[in-house]
Amino acid sequence: MFNRLLAGPALLFISLLSAGCGSSGGKETAAAPQPVQQTPTQPQAPQLSLKVPTAANSWVEGNPKETETIIQANGIRNWRRSSDKIVTYLRLGKAGELELALNAKVLSGTSAIEVSVGGLSKKIELNNTTLQQVYVGKFAVSQPGYQKIVLQGVSASADVFADIDDILIGGSAVGSDTYFIKDEFYWGRRGPSVHLNYQSPTSAPLEYFYSELTVPAGQDVIGSYYMANGFGQGYFGIQVNSASERRVLFSVWSPYETDDPSKIPPEDRVQLLRKGPDVQAGEFGNEGSGGQSYLIYPWQAATTYKFLLKAKPVDNNSTDYSAWFYAPEQAQWRLIASFRRPKTQTWLTNQHAFLENFIPEAGQFSREAHYGNGWVRTASGEWLPLQHASFSYDDTARRQSRWDYQGGVKNGRFYLKNGGFFDDFTTFGSKFSRDATVAPVLDLMKLP
């Protein structure tokens, strides 16, 4: 989506806002105390080399609900309140000069908008009622990495400030090492999913997978799924579904590959064997299909929760999977569910963890999870620690749409972090190790 742009009509004027200087409110006067640049009647707009779509790369700062209203499939729309700041993110590979223009229009009258980058603000006025390239100006970029372009409405004759389809960029800071979301808008806005892939400590059959998960204070962000016990046929973890609802989620994929559960043949359907009290069970789709169960539970940040998963091959070429959740607030293990997966004869495989955001409007937020004290138990009864893991990420990161992904070791625990447009990313395939801890003390025969 590299688009060469032609020069277009310009704005009425640009004024530089600096610390300690008041705004002229969009009216130039001869007595103004600071220099004001008057735009020529027929300006020579610069050739800006890249078009950054606002539909993919913009959010209402700190507000997922308003983001859903204002950031539409074709760009910024319905922008009515000056308190709603629009933030657009892009990643630059080098420092230098960043030039900006907006591909924008007003519905009627005149609008004034303030554009800020790195602490420097410029105010523009728009009165064009068809989409045009409106030049903003030049900004100094002192460090490479993610840059935040902030748009704030100052005044408007109409009910909305402006419709803005794209932000056009150029200058010495822009080049082949400039990144933003160019395609797959839905997945790019969600942000990269990140994974811990545990190295199995043995080649013996594994029946149980135990782990402990802590979401640090302030990292329990809406739209987050903190997956604790992943395995070759499903996943088990906790979610923030809304401001008022949190879940413990356990799912098993069907061996029949489809995103539509209604298309799964009867012989390929995952069968619910049992579920715990207050647990909801059914089917899921969209990212594969299969059996799903969840418990609405008000888990808290800065609290460690325990997860236990069991897999056991059974007759008729099937495998049974069971999941238990330990809630310290209740001081007991709770059964989430047991599922039978047909056409599968296996013990536990591919132990892993992951962290993802499933709400695109929350892609502007960072989230982190700490994974400690992971163990597996062989079918013969031996507990072995999971001390080694490697890092990976999903297609959003592989496309270089987003670079805000990270993993490693903190305070003796593995961790994952994503979202929020931070700069320090972790290389794909990085390997981590932690010291062995104390094996879980569990009476497996007394599990509910």
173 and 140 Cβ atoms separated by less than 8 Å: no
Residue with tokens 């629009």: 86
Q: How far is CA 74 from CA 7, 78, 236, 319, 392, in A?
A: 22, 12, 36, 47, 32
Best CA proximity match to 202, nearest among 324, 380, 413 = 380
Best CA proximity match to 245, nearest among 190, 193, 295, 301 = 295
**Share of residues in the chain with pLDDT > 70 (%):** 90
In order of their start, the domains of the chain are 13-182 (2.60.120.260), 191-446 (no CATH)
CA-only gyration radius of the chain, Å: 26
Q: Give the strand order in the sheet containing 246-253.
A: 279-284, 290-296, 246-253, 234-240, 224-230, 352-357, 194-198, 388-393, 431-433
**What sign results for the dihedral spanned by CA atoms 53, 57, 61, 67?**
positive
- The answer to whether residue 215 scores a pLDDT higher than 90 is yes
**Tens-digit pLDDT profile for residues 72-120:** 999 999 999 999 999 999 999 999 999 999 999 999 999 999 999 999 9
Residue with tokens 């325990």: 306
d(CA 183, CA 104): 21
d(CA 295, CA 272): 15
In sequence order, the 6+-apart residues with CB closer than 8 A to the CB of 437 are: 372, 373, 385, 412
Buried/exposed 7-33: b ≥16 CB within 10 Å, e otherwise: ebebbbbbbebeeeeeebebeeeeeee
SS3 content of the chain, % helix, strand, coil (to 5): 5, 45, 45
293 and 335 Cβ atoms separated by less than 8 Å: no
d(CA 310, CA 231): 10
**Tens-digit pLDDT profile for residues 94-103:** 999 999 999 9
Q: How far is CA 382 from CA 115, 124, 203, 321, 367, in A?
A: 61, 69, 12, 19, 34
**Tens-digit pLDDT profile for residues 302-335:** 999 999 999 999 999 999 999 999 999 999 999 9
- The answer to whether residue 282 scores a pLDDT higher than 90 is no
pLDDT of residue 287: 67
446 and 392 Cβ atoms separated by less than 8 Å: no
Confidence of residue 361 (pLDDT cuts 50, 70, 90): very high
Buried/exposed 114-133: b ≥16 CB within 10 Å, e otherwise: bbbbeeebbbbbbebeebbb
- The answer to whether residue 272 scores a pLDDT higher than 70 is yes
User: In this structure, how many other beta carbons lie within 10 angstroms of the beta carbon of residue 205?
Assistant: 15
Choice among 26-30, 67-71, 184-188, 316-320 with the minimum mean pLDDT: 26-30
Average pLDDT, the chain: 90
Q: How far is CA 389 from CA 108, 197, 217, 408, in A?
A: 58, 5, 24, 9
pLDDT of residue 15: 34
Q: How far is CA 236 from CA 99, 199, 229, 247, 249, in A?
A: 46, 18, 5, 11, 6
- The answer to whether residue 66 scores a pLDDT higher than 80 is yes
- The answer to whether residue 222 scores a pLDDT higher than 50 is yes
256 and 212 Cβ atoms separated by less than 8 Å: no
317 and 330 Cβ atoms separated by less than 8 Å: no
Please report which helix (H) or strand (E) contains residue 163, including its range: strand 163-170
**Tens-digit pLDDT profile for residues 31-64:** 334 443 434 333 455 679 899 999 999 999 999 9
pLDDT of residue 7: 34
Q: How far is CA 417 from CA 205, 371, 377, in A?
A: 31, 11, 28
d(CA 219, CA 239): 12
User: In this structure, how many other beta carbons lie within 10 angstroms of the beta carbon of residue 355?
Assistant: 29
**What sign results for the dihedral spanned by CA atoms 143, 403, 151, 178?**
positive
